[in-house]
Amino acid sequence: LQAEALTKVEEAATLSDLQDIRVAYLGKKGPITEVLRGMGKLSKEERPVIGELANKVRETIANELDAKKEKLEAAGLEKRLEKETLDVTLPGRPVQVGGPHLLTSIVEEIEDLFIGMGFEIKEGPEVETDYYNFEALNLPKGHPARDMQDSFYITEELLMRTHTSPVQARTMGEYKGNKPVKMICPGKVYRRDTDDATHSHQFTQVEGLYVDKNVRMSDLKGVLNRFAKQLFGEDREIRLRPSFFPFTEPSVEMDISCKVCNGEGCSVCKGTGWIEILGGGMVHPRVLEMAGYDPKVYNGFAFGMGPERIAMLKYGVDDIRHFYTNDVRFLQQYHKA
């Protein structure tokens, strides 16, 4: 019996064959169990001899089964490892990595620059009241300059903000007329324009405000000069031209020189050699007053710019719609390595 069982174990090829053999020889209905069960019928002398023999046979078969099981398992593992081998020397496939949007990068660059000059960053709501968007900025109802900014009205008193200047009015109000204000406010603005290469019904602005005692026009010029040089290059010049905004007096528009230099020398960009990049001026006394600042004690300057326009000039982007249509081929050109 033992020899027969061991041959079968030897020949078994799978783990389930082994299980069958185990059941057949060592199971409850197997021959060894039967022998052990019949012990009662044996004589006193026979019992220990047969008992010992049966146990030995059972043990031998069980040991062989265990040994074979281990062998089969090891072989199975070996096979699986072979099948699942990885060739770690194969070159990898490139992974597509995202990066910040060009507009995000420019706004962050502008923010860093002004933080360096001691300005804080402020945000405000995109759905704004008529009061903060216009009235508090010296644009009462019916003022003709409201037409400069075609608006999306939601109700008679609510609209999509047409510029980020309301954040300045809000911040001055928050500071209650007795603290200096030095802030910039980046954010989305909305105007009822027909989209084309240079217009978009939604675009971005960064506006700045500095209110304190004894702020002068030369402070505005100094800050803007530093800004222009740091963003576009130390060889750039700025110039201020008189302009009009209802919330500043006097008001200016600022141009930067657009000298382009390459290996063969320098040339001046199209036209006059100057490009307009932002508007600004000294905060109108009425605006200070409405926000709770005494214009006899406090004064200040404000300015506003469009990061799209700045990015277009800096990187030669020819259509504002590129910023919003999100063609990855466009965006990827501006991802820093």
List residues near ligand PHE by CB under 6 A. Answer: 163, 165, 207, 245, 248, 279-281, 302-304
The residue (of 30 and 166) whose beta carbon lies closer to ligand PHE is 166
- Rounded CA-CA distance 196/304 in Å is 22
Tell me the residue nearest to ligand PHE as measured from the CB. 304
DSSP-assigned letter for residue 40: G
Q: Which residues pair with 149 in a beta bridge?
A: none
Min separation Cβ 302 and ligand PHE, Å: 4
The residue (of 58 and 163) whose beta carbon lies closer to ligand PHE is 163
Q: Burial of 257 by CB count in 10 Å (0-12 exposed, 13-18 middle, 19+ buried)?
A: middle
Min separation Cβ 250 and ligand PHE, Å: 11
- Rounded CA-CA distance 286/273 in Å is 36
The residue (of 119 and 245) whose beta carbon lies closer to ligand PHE is 245
Min separation Cβ 195 and ligand PHE, Å: 18
**Residue 276 known to bind ligand:** no
The residue (of 30 and 280) whose beta carbon lies closer to ligand PHE is 280
Q: Before 242, cis peptide (omega within 30)?
A: no
DSSP-assigned letter for residue 128: E
The residues, any chain, with a CB within 8 Å of residue 254's CB and separated by 6 or more, are 224, 228, 238, 239, 240, 241, 276, 277, 278, 279, 280, 303
Min separation Cβ 200 and ligand PHE, Å: 14
The residue (of 68 and 163) whose beta carbon lies closer to ligand PHE is 163
Token pair, residue 163, equals 């510029």
CA distances from 271 to 10, 71, 123, 257, 267 (A): 96, 88, 37, 11, 12
Min separation Cβ 254 and ligand PHE, Å: 10
Q: Which residues pair with 186 in a beta bridge?
A: 206
* The residue count for the chain: 337
Q: What is the DSSP string of 223-284?
A: HHHHHHHHHH-TT--EEEEEEEETTEEEEEEEEEE-EEEETTEEEEPSTTSEEEEEEEEEEP
The residue (of 80 and 241) whose beta carbon lies closer to ligand PHE is 241
Min separation Cβ 259 and ligand PHE, Å: 26
- Rounded CA-CA distance 178/198 in Å is 41
- Rounded CA-CA distance 274/253 in Å is 12
The residue (of 279 and 307) whose beta carbon lies closer to ligand PHE is 279
Min separation Cβ 114 and ligand PHE, Å: 14
Q: Residues marked as binding for Mg(2+)? A: 249
